[in-house]
Amino acid sequence: METIAIINLKGGVGKTTTAINMATLLALKHKKRVLLIDNDPQGNASQFFNCYDGEADTCGAAKILQREKPEIISKKGIDVISANISLLKADNTLRTSTERQDDRMKNYLASILGEYDYCIIDNPPALLMCTINALCAANEVIVPITLDNWALDGIEMLATQIEELQALNNRLKIAGVLLTNYRKTPENEVAEKWLRAHCRYRVFETQIRRSDKAIAATYYKQPLEEYSPRSAAAVTYRKFVKEYMES
Ligand SMILES: Nc1ncnc2c1ncn2[C@@H]1O[C@H](COP(=O)(O)OP(=O)(O)O)[C@@H](O)[C@H]1O
Ligand SMILES: [Mg+2]
């Protein structure tokens, strides 16, 4: 099982959009068995898959941190483990635990190893205990970024954290940086060129194009492949997943 953490310490860079569309493309187009873990207390991916319960005092992702068996919900050809704000409470409790804190997700995934080809983990824009658990369970990290003045600061900070975590998880590697919400402007082309020349990690060839359909698709709760397969965002997500799988 390939376990991929989608992460950036910045919010609004397309982590959830990437997790949702990558997971559904791997399942529907590439016929892979996919588990998506919503590991963000905001529960955006859970909302998308209609398995968000804002009132519930626990959630699948919280149960993983508590060494309990999470519910698995089947949606749109993939299995989903949901999150809500209770994940934050479980996270705080774990943080003050005297027991080992970083191996909960890793142990859970080890127990279901043969059941999936891919596990995609959508993360919050912060290094919570749940994020550290994801990085200790994952073997690959994909870092979505948008091109703005501060995009690169985020990567450096994250890279430092990941390098520290490699002491706990030596399988962990950064698969690559993914340009999301991309618009071809002269400024962006310069920024992209600079990034490709200076980033010490692989930058995927494919840029995920900005498209209004990507925003609309979230209202209809449909993956882009279903909502608007010919939109620039859908086309580039297909291309990206192919590029990822071929590497
Ligand atoms: N390719 C895209 N084109 C247009 N809007 C996008 C695209 N990707 C993401 N968005 C929008 O940007 C916002 C942030 O994306 P999201 O995936 O929620 O980021 P994150 O999970 O990193 O906070 C959302 O409103 C989302 O619909
Ligand atoms: Mg998100």
CA separation for the pair 17, 144 (Å, rounded) = 10
93/66 Cα distance (integer angstroms): 9
Average pLDDT over residues 48-73: 98
Interval 4-10 mean pLDDT: 95
pLDDT of residue 80: 98
**Which of ligand 1's atoms lies nearest the C-alpha of 212?**
4
Instruction: Give the pTM.
Output: 0.97
pLDDT digits (tens, 9 = 90+) for 102-124: 999 999 999 999 999 999 999 99
Kindly report the protein residue whose alpha carbon is nearest to atom 15 of ligand 1. 14
pLDDT of 82 strictly over 70: yes
C-alpha span between 193 and 113 (Å, rounded) = 39
**Ligand 1 atom with least separation from CA of 215:** 27
Pocket of ligand 1 (CB under 6 A): 11-17, 44, 180-181, 208, 210-211, 214-215, 218, 233
CA 125 to ligand 2 center in whole angstroms: 7
Domains and their CATH numbers in the chain: 2-246 (3.40.50.300)
Give the distance (Å) from ligand 1 centre to CA of residue 132: 23
Question: Could you tell me the pLDDT band of residue 193, with boundaries at 50, 70 and 90?
Answer: very high
> How many C-beta atoms lie closer than 10 Å to residue 99's C-beta?
8
Per-residue pLDDT at 51 exceeds 80: yes
Under the phi-then-psi rule, with left for phi > 0, alpha for psi from -120 to 50, and beta for the rest, what region is 150?
alpha
Stronger pLDDT, 37 or 151, i.e. the higher one = 37
Query: What is the structure's pLDDT at 175?
Result: 96
Q: What secondary structure letter does DSSP report for 115?
A: G
Ligand 1 midpoint to CA 214 (Å): 7
Q: What are phi and psi for residue 179, nearest 5 degrees?
A: -75, 120
Spatial separation of the C-alpha atoms in residues 42 and 87, rounded to whole Å: 9
- Of all atoms in ligand 1, which is nearest to the CA of residue 122? 21
Q: Name the closest ligand to CA 180.
A: 1
Quick one: pLDDT band at residue 43, thresholds 50, 70, 90? very high
Q: Which ligand is nearest to the CA of 219?
A: 1
